[in-house]
Amino acid sequence: MCQDMIDQTSDASPAEPPRSGYAVIQDYVKTLDSSPGVYRMLDADSRVLYVGKARNLKARVSNYTRPGNSPRIERMIALTTSMMFLTTRTETEALLLEQNLIKQLKPKYNVLLRDDKSFPNILVSKDHAYPQIKKHRGARKEKGSYFGPFASAGAVNRTLNQLQKAFLLRNCSDAMFESRTRPCLQYQIKRCSAPCTGEISAEEYAASVRDAERFLSGRSTKIQEELAEQMMAASEAMEFERAAALRDRIKALTQVQTAQGINPRGVAEADVIGLHMEGGQACVQVFFIRANQNWGNQDFYPRVDADNSPAEVMEAFLGQFYSNKEPPRQLILSDDIENGDLMEQALSEKAGRRVEVMVPQRGEKTELVAGAVRNARESLARRMAESATQAKLLKGLAEAFGLDGPPNRIEVYDNSHIQGTHAVGGMIVAGPEGLMKNAYRKFNIKGDDLVPGDDFGMMKEVLNRRFSRLLKEDPDREKGLWPDLLLIDGGAGQVSAVAEIMAEHGVQDIPMVGVAKGVDRDHGKEEFHRLGENAFALQRNDPVLYFIQRLRDEAHRFAIGTHRAKRAKAMGATPLDEVAGVGASRKRALLAHFGSAKAVSRANLADLKAVDGISEALAERIYDHFHAQG
């Protein structure tokens, strides 16, 4: 991004009422030149309404001074009281900046990609003599070969499962590898060749790694042919056990290809993107094609307005989707975009190679796009049906609990611990579109003065932290972050305790309901508690009851999962984690040299200095850490 950006802002005089609409925009047009850049439209409370880019700022902003825009744009203009401008050197820089600002600011009148996330890859690590094959998500900082993206963690796990059967590569951590003295269960069930104990030579293991990389790079047919030849040779030599093993490897590779479904011959590396719009909603379906193989698909539901055109939605999706992902060599689209050349240039600069954006007219690519659009249409139909059902449930919930209206945000809280250890709190969120998983939150219980197993104390800490942050981040309740209903796991006592906590924060207008197990702690016999009211129950066949049960079970699942992850992490911890300057690689070096953390703590200074990668200063720090503790 350019370094010489200019930020122009204007504040209305506090003595004058803020002007808005066409007159305000016309004043800005007089001061603009023909530079490329990005503009922001703000309302009376300085909230960003819209972010747009322009090849020529003066010409683009002038368009807003002439009537005849769509109803959405007219509403936006009427609310605009000020504008901000950032000039850039090129229109490409303006496009990239625009999409970054949209993702950061989430303006009301922009097409917005929601629930954007990174996708998992398969990594064949290269920082060890015996490379590990594993799932990887996030920045590609680790040394090795990356293959992906895959559409979901499930797709990666299924592929890894079969690749382990086919190539017998290890998936254990380096620390586990170094500590083995005999093969683990993975070797026994023929999912690893046990390089940790020398069951396979370095050369043979390296050959397996190369075969795995060739398969993931699209040369699967050649590998299967080679394995078939080896199987026949082994059979002829009466090496029936080896022949059976090779047969199982071929079968595993075939299962990977079967699970991938359609594998296009003429498309080596592309994302196939189909868009369907209906009823003021949109679904974008993305198929990931890598090495002539289909690595799954994912659907997205960007926030759109009824008057957004397909070209506008598609362009916004591309800019936001690839702002934090490396684009493939081809983007095969169902709908053309207005600035195709500009998007190609921006994505090519980002990737450091040519990226082609195309809308096919015939052939195999057209069939791929048609399949993506069909999936988008079917996914949107299911979502709209689910939304209608969800709306009925929320309306029923409001009637059952005497709320003013259907809640837009329900927060459900639960705690998990084992006799007070590794205690965590979990918050799940639901709304008109179902579970809002990007809004889930985990809370590590930090209270040192809590009695083990004190659920009241844990809940108090969670809610104190939650609402202290809400009061700081959104005191005016304008960002949609405040709940309309709290569901608490517990009875009248828990509800009273929560009410006291909320009152301490000056929050007494949010309805809360305690969900108690009821007679025999049985599903269907739940009792509901509201502050100052008698407990009541719902009919066993009431859909609202099933809905509440699902929410409570989801909160319980989320809290338990968080607790288990925290407990597993603690079980893998060693005293070395407390030594400043000892990261993962140095920890591995120390454990490999001494065999255990206890042995490290007993080592003398000279022995510590002899470890590869441990400097004299760090050796002294490690020695002082353990001996200062006695």
Distance separating alpha carbons of residues 192 and 204, to the nearest angstrom: 13
Give the pLDDT band of residue 354 (cuts 50, 70, 90).
very high
* 267 vs 569 pLDDT, higher one: 267
Same domain, 440 and 503: yes
pLDDT of residue 310 exceeding 90: yes
Instruction: Calculate mean pLDDT across residues 439-444.
Output: 88
**Considering the domain boundaries, does residue 388 fall inside one?**
no
Same domain, 187 and 255: yes
- Nearest CA among 291, 268, 125 for reference residue 209: 125
Q: What is the CATH number of the domain that holds 285?
A: 3.30.420
Quote the Cα angle for 546-548-550, to 5°.
70
Span 603-620, pLDDT tens digits? 888 888 888 888 888 888
Q: Give the strand pairing for 421-431 and 441-444.
A: antiparallel
**Considering the domain boundaries, does residue 90 fall inside one?**
yes
Same domain, 452 and 469: yes
Report residue 601 as tokens: 């703590």
Q: What residues make up the domain containing 367?
A: 270-382
Do 483 and 411 touch, CB atoms closer than 8 A?
A: yes
pLDDT of residue 287 exceeding 60: yes
Instruction: Calculate mean pLDDT across residues 19-48.
Output: 91
Same domain, 440 and 350: no
**Considering the domain boundaries, does residue 303 fall inside one?**
yes
**Considering the domain boundaries, does residue 392 fall inside one?**
no
DSSP letter string, 417-467: EETTEEEEEEEEEEETTEE-GGG-EEEE---TTPPTT-HHHHHHHHHHHHH
Long-range Cβ pairs for the range 492-497 (8 Å, 24+):
492/529, 492/535, 493/456, 494/455, 494/456, 494/459, 494/529, 495/529, 495/530, 495/531, 496/531, 497/456, 497/459, 497/460
Beta bridge partners of residue 514, listed in sequence order: 488, 529
**Considering the domain boundaries, does residue 82 fall inside one?**
yes
Q: Give the strand pairing for 269-278 and 330-333.
A: parallel
Amino acid identity for residue 109 in this structure: Y
Do 202 and 210 touch, CB atoms closer than 8 A?
A: no
**Considering the domain boundaries, does residue 10 fall inside one?**
no
DSSP 3-state of 311? helix
Cα-Cα end-to-end distance for the chain: 54
Do 112 and 122 touch, CB atoms closer than 8 A?
A: no
Strand segments, DSSP code E, in 436-543 are 441-444, 485-489, 512-516, 527-529
Q: How many domains does the chain have?
A: 5
Record the pTM. Answer: 0.69
Domain boundary among 204, 228, 259: 259
Instruction: Calculate mean pLDDT across residues 424-452.
Output: 82
The dihedral region occupied by 450, where left means phi > 0, alpha psi between -120 and 50, and beta the remainder, is beta
Q: Give the strand pairing for 281-290 and 293-300.
A: antiparallel
Distance separating alpha carbons of residues 42 and 25, to the nearest angstrom: 11
Distance separating alpha carbons of residues 69 and 74, to the nearest angstrom: 6
**Considering the domain boundaries, does residue 55 fall inside one?**
yes
Instruction: Calculate mean pLDDT across residues 287-310.
Output: 88
Instruction: Calculate mean pLDDT across residues 136-149.
Output: 85
Do 76 and 308 touch, CB atoms closer than 8 A?
A: no
Same domain, 246 and 326: no
Q: What pLDDT is attached to residue 580?
A: 76
Q: Give the strand pairing for 434-435 and 441-444.
A: unpaired
Q: What is the CATH number of the domain that holds 493?
A: 3.30.420.340
Task: Quote the mean pLDDT of the chain.
Answer: 84
| CA 408 to each of CA 110, 405, 436, 442, 483: distance values in angstroms, whole numbers, following the listed order | 21, 9, 11, 21, 8
**Considering the domain boundaries, does residue 139 fall inside one?**
yes
- Nearest CA among 108, 110, 166 for reference residue 133: 166
Amino acid identity for residue 440 in this structure: Y
Same domain, 449 and 481: yes
Same domain, 562 and 579: no
Distance separating alpha carbons of residues 270 and 263, to the nearest angstrom: 12
In degrees and rounded to multiples of 5, residue 22 shows phi and psi of -60, -40
Give the pLDDT band of residue 12 (cuts 50, 70, 90).
very low
Same domain, 99 and 137: no
Span 166-207, pLDDT tens digits? 888 898 888 888 888 888 888 888 889 999 999 999 998 998
What's the farthest any 2 CA atoms get from each other in the chain?
A: 97
Q: What is the CATH number of the domain that holds 589?
A: 1.10.150.20
Do 299 and 379 touch, CB atoms closer than 8 A?
A: yes
DSSP letter string, 252-294: HHHHHHHHT----SS-SEEEEEEEEEETTEEEEEEEEEETTEE
Same domain, 417 and 565: yes
Report residue 409 as tokens: 């945000």
Same domain, 144 and 184: yes
Give the pLDDT band of residue 2 (cuts 50, 70, 90).
very low
DSSP letter string, 568-599: HHHHT--GGGGSTT--HHHHHHHHHHHSSHHH
Instruction: Calculate mean pLDDT across residues 214-219.
Output: 78
* 54 vs 505 pLDDT, higher one: 54
Beta bridge partners of residue 425, listed in sequence order: 415, 443
Give the pLDDT band of residue 312 (cuts 50, 70, 90).
very high
Q: What pLDDT is attached to residue 154?
A: 79
DSSP letter string, 57-71: HHHHHHGGGSS---H
Do 605 and 621 touch, CB atoms closer than 8 A?
A: no
Token pair 């909320």 in the structure block, residue: 502
Give the pLDDT band of residue 273 (cuts 50, 70, 90).
very high
Distance separating alpha carbons of residues 486 and 429, to the nearest angstrom: 10
- Nearest CA among 248, 237, 295 for reference residue 268: 295
pLDDT of residue 7 exceeding 70: no
Same domain, 217 and 289: no
Do 87 and 37 touch, CB atoms closer than 8 A?
A: yes
Residues recorded for the chain: 630
Q: What is the CA radius of gyration of the chain?
A: 30
DSSP letter string, 167-194: H----S-HHHHHH-SS--HHHHTTS---
Q: What is the CATH number of the domain that holds 38?
A: 3.40.1440.10
Same domain, 182 and 128: yes
Domain boundary among 548, 569, 590: 569
What share of the chain has pLDDT > 70, as a percent? 89
- Nearest CA among 605, 612, 619 for reference residue 589: 612
Domain boundary among 546, 569, 592: 569
| CA 461 to each of CA 450, 457, 510: distance values in angstroms, whole numbers, following the listed order | 10, 6, 18
- Nearest CA among 503, 608, 513 for reference residue 552: 513
Instruction: Calculate mean pLDDT across residues 8-33.
Output: 73
Do 502 and 462 touch, CB atoms closer than 8 A?
A: no
Do 505 and 471 touch, CB atoms closer than 8 A?
A: yes
